[in-house]
Amino acid sequence: MREINWAVLGCGVIANEMAVALQKQGRHIYAVGNRTREKAVLFAEKYGIQKVYAQYDEMFTDPEVDAIYITTPHNTHIAFMKQAIANGKHVLVEKAVTLNSGELSEALSLAEEKGVIVAEAMTIFHMPIYRRLHEILQSGKLGAVNLMTVNFGSFKEYDMNNRFFNRNLAGGAMLDIGVYALSLCRWFMTSKPEQVKSIVKMAPTGVDEQAGLLLMNAEGQMATIMLSLHSKQPKRGMISCEKGYIEIMEYPRACEAQITYTESGETELVRAGRREDALLYEITDMENAIASHTDKQEEMYLAYTRDVMELMTACRREWNFTYPEEECNE
């Protein structure tokens, strides 16, 4: 298979991690674009990238580019995705993939028309530990999954100009950290939750600062989620089954989990993968999907991405919480 030429849009933390991930394979990002070209030049020098665009949108029409990793703020994703897809580029998009389910459906329809892959860079769907836990659950050792409790809380200072609390930059707990919690639940649930109850506390800027969610699907599996941007919580997931429970710490990039078997009280520590290789796992799966002649989207868990986005959109609709871009499209 010919090596895939990647272009990256944006030069932030995630773009740096992607560059390091490719370097581990003895490879380099092919091209970089950024609103501030000077930053793109420094980024290219740091990672041995051969092409820096004078205007970042030149990457969308560059015939040498096969795939684009979009690492810009949530509210910019859909416009960049549409440009990339229209020009036949495969697209990997940093979470949250879009602002809402309508935008995602629009992007996926265009991708199907153009025959390209669109995927969300959701670490949980690609970390080896989750595939190992799936195998254990499939073996029946723990019985059926019954319920989950998931927490994610950051303590961000009350600076209403930073992106976390800035409505104009698609701030708020749901899109920034809730996407992880919901993705974890969806991974372990047999089907998408049908019943969703939520409560929210808004920040002074009008974005969701704190939220609690209660979910249940057709199989009766339940989950509770607590999110916060101004109150620290551990990134902890607990999956309770008939014969035991699984505890996962730092679950967005987990590499281990502890299983407790309730009858014996014995514990088992399960390890798989490396936290620092999270981006490498995403890129590898994306490239395999591009090269595959089977169900490409299944390899990137697009159905889960769609389910999670629909859940987040439904919650925000219940809260009467919209972003400026959504109001412009009403």
Of 86, 121, 156, the residue at which a domain comes to its end is: 121
Looking at the fold, whether 245 and 260 belong to one and the same domain comes out as yes
- pLDDT, residue 245, reads 98
pLDDT, one tens digit per residue, over 278-287 is 999 999 999 9
Mean pLDDT, residues 49-59: 95
Indicate the Cα dihedral angle 327, 116, 54, 9, nearest 10°.
Answer: 60
pLDDT, one tens digit per residue, over 175-210 is 999 999 999 999 999 999 999 999 999 999 999 999
CA pair distance 304, 274, nearest whole angstrom = 23
pLDDT, one tens digit per residue, over 292-314 is 855 555 779 999 999 999 999 99
In a domain, 286, yes or no: no
Looking at the fold, whether 116 and 152 belong to one and the same domain comes out as no
State yes or no: pLDDT of 330 exceeds 60: no
- pLDDT, residue 298, reads 72
Of 91, 121, 151, the residue at which a domain comes to its end is: 121
Mean pLDDT, residues 239-252: 98
- pLDDT, residue 1, reads 58
Looking at the fold, whether 80 and 115 belong to one and the same domain comes out as yes
Looking at the fold, whether 132 and 191 belong to one and the same domain comes out as yes
- pLDDT, residue 288, reads 92
- pLDDT, residue 216, reads 98
On whether the CB atoms of residues 151 and 233 are closer than 8 A, the answer is: yes
- pLDDT, residue 20, reads 94
Helix (H, G, I), strand (E, B) or coil at 10: coil
- pLDDT, residue 286, reads 95
> Residue 24 belongs to what domain range?
6-121
On whether the CB atoms of residues 200 and 216 are closer than 8 A, the answer is: no
Looking at the fold, whether 243 and 102 belong to one and the same domain comes out as no
Looking at the fold, whether 239 and 323 belong to one and the same domain comes out as yes
Looking at the fold, whether 233 and 151 belong to one and the same domain comes out as yes
Indicate the Cα dihedral angle 79, 84, 85, 89, nearest 10°.
Answer: -160
Mean pLDDT, residues 239-247: 98
CA pair distance 243, 261, nearest whole angstrom = 6
Looking at the fold, whether 27 and 152 belong to one and the same domain comes out as no
3-state secondary structure 227-266: EECEEEEEEEEEEEECCEEEEEECHHHCCEEEEEECCCCC
Residue 56 vs residues 35, 37, 64, 72, 221: alpha-carbon distances, Å: 6, 8, 15, 12, 45
pLDDT, one tens digit per residue, over 104-163 is 999 999 999 999 999 999 999 999 999 999 999 999 999 999 999 999 999 998 887 888
Task: Domain count for the chain, please give it.
Answer: 2
- pLDDT, residue 124, reads 98
CA pair distance 233, 254, nearest whole angstrom = 16
Looking at the fold, whether 157 and 228 belong to one and the same domain comes out as yes
Q: What is the pTM of this model?
A: 0.95
CATH number at residue 46: 3.40.50.720
For the chain, the distance separating the N- and C-terminal CA atoms, rounded to the nearest angstrom, is 45
Looking at the fold, whether 152 and 272 belong to one and the same domain comes out as yes
